[in-house]
Amino acid sequence: QSVLTQPPSVSGAPGQRVTISCTGSSSNIGAGFDVHWYQQLPGTAPKLLIYGNTNRPSGVPDRFSGSKSGTSASLAITGLQAEDEADYYCQSYDSSLSGSVFGGGTKLTVL
Partner 1 sequence: QVTLRESGPALVKPTRTLTLTCTFSGFSLSTSGMCVSWIRQPPGKALEWLALIDWDDDKYYSTSLKTRLTISKDTSKNQVVLTMTNMDPVDTATYYCARGQGGYPTRFDYWGQGALVTVSS
Q: If residue 67 lies in a helix (H) or strand (E), which one and from where to where?
A: strand 64-69
Closest CB to partner 1 among residues 9, 16: 9
Which of 29, 38, 56, 75 is close enough to bind partner 1 by CB under 8 A?
38
Q: How far from chain centre, in Å, is Cα 38?
A: 6
Which of 13, 42, 45, 59 is close enough to bind partner 1 by CB under 8 A?
45
Q: How many CB atoms lie within 10 A of CB 103?
A: 25
Least distance CB 60 / partner 1 (angstroms): 11
Sheet containing strand 18-23, strands side by side: 18-23, 72-77, 64-69
Please report, as ranges, the residues that interact with partner 1 according to CB under 8 A: 2, 33-34, 36, 38, 44-48, 51-52, 57, 89, 91-93, 97-105
